[in-house]
Amino acid sequence: MSYTFGTLPDVVQGVIGTVTRGFGLAFAAWDLVRDETGTVWVLEMNPNGQWAFTPDRDDICRAIADYLEEVAST
């Protein structure tokens, strides 16, 4: 299995944000697949998903830490 960096269409990003916030979550790990036609398929959304194996794990760690720091200061 391989993973690649990519961008999501704005509408997909919007839906992900709306659904995540709709569940009252600040973070969710989404498993997505893009098929050969470019269609993005949602496999699942996990409120505490695994992401430490991903190549961008350091960026994810920083983003979560920044968010928690921001929330703690309000």
The sign of the CA dihedral 14, 26, 22, 55 is positive
The whole-number pLDDT of residue 63 equals 87
pLDDT mean by block of 10 residues, the chain; 74 residues = 79 95 90 91 90 81 88 83
Alpha helices in 1-74 (DSSP H): 10-22, 57-72
Amino acid at 47: P
pLDDT of residue 1: 65
Are 3 and 54 in contact by the 8 Å Cβ rule? The answer is yes
pLDDT at 42 (0 to 100): 94
- The domain locations on the chain are 10-72
Contact 46, 27 (CB under 8 A): no
Phi, psi dihedrals of residue 42, rounded to the nearest 5°: -90, 125
